[in-house]
Structure 1
Amino acid sequence: MTPDVTPGPAPAPKRSRGRPAGVRAGTAETRERILAAARTEFADRGYDKTSMRSIAKAAGVDPALVHHYFGTKEQTFGAAIELTFAPAFAGPDAVFGAPEGIGERVARFMLGIWESTPTREPILAVLRSAFTNESAAEVFRSMLTRRILARVAGELDVPEPELRVQLAAAQLLGVAVLRHVLKVEPIASADFDDVVAMIAPTLQGYLTAGGA
């Protein structure tokens, strides 16, 4: 006679690899969670000290899931700075129109981004990584050229538009660094409208060739 054997409870199913507690893998929520963690990690630790594993740990997922969504470390950094520089990417659409006054519009829009701490600090973090690591610099350089500089240059009817746009960008970055990073006086505490008024004619000359 076959003995009566009552089966025990079935073992609990293992949680899928890379599936954080409380967040379903494969959802937009999971991707955004990882992207937010990547942005914070790169900002706080810099490019060199950030790893896919540290991003995964901060997001509460398996490193394989970070690779699944974003690929390599360089690609993950690119996705993170896309988020950081989103306000600046709107610049070309925001400032173009009649050539008259474009220098002031560009100065006011781009320098205005630096005036706000929530947008300034993440940008500074990206620049620190780009200044100290060539891989990060290449990702940032490619994105800056493609998303901002090339778009602006394509709208200009001037000789050597790429060079002129880069000169304008260098002027803006120099002002931003002196004002917000090095905090050199008197530019650090100068009135924003005064700074815009002083730099606008130079940008106008770069972008219109004749300073129209």
Structure 2
Amino acid sequence: MVLCVHINAFPGDERSVAAVGRFIREHATAKALILDARTHRGGGPREMNVLLSYLFEQEALLAYLDTPRRNLELECGPPGDVLMREGHGPEGIHRREHRVHPHTTESRLFGARVFYLVSSRTASAAEHLALALQRTERATLVGETTAGANHFACPQPLGDSLAVVLPVGRTLDPDTGKDWEGVGITPDILVPADQALEEVLQRLR
């Protein structure tokens, strides 16, 4: 069975997180999983962590999230999650390590083939997931180079019901120390975004 899941965002609320886990458990017999993030505009790490726990057989480092320590005074650190623990960053930098921990009772998807569809609209947390899947070689990325929206941000009130969204840090590849701001992530298989799904289905036939 081939399972195709279209994802538009990771809102991070309890209902969405629970729905991801329930859906994956109910379809854990799939031999191939297609994650369609071509219109995914971002969000947080919670749904991502639930999804990844069903795909990795062993714990793995996925990415670093760095922010200047002075930004912590603004209560604007990296996206919070129990699976992001403090690491050792450069001087003056608060670093968190994003790691995946395998699910303890459901392992049927550990060996499934995984494809991740991307486009020039795939942004932010969806690019974070693209990096995680690509650098660990857990999925094949198919489509167009992503949007290049790396730097994470948080709102700061200005008064009079106004606020500014302030960039406070970046997500980076632990292997290269680079991020994808402004350049995006290049997929393993470059095809026009509207042909990405058919490309994968052809490869699965």
TM-score bin, normalised by smaller chain? under 0.3
**TM-score with structure 2 length normalisation?**
0.26
- Please tell me whether Structure 1 or Structure 2 has the larger radius of gyration of its CA atoms: 1
More strand by share: 2
**TM-score with structure 1 length normalisation?**
0.25
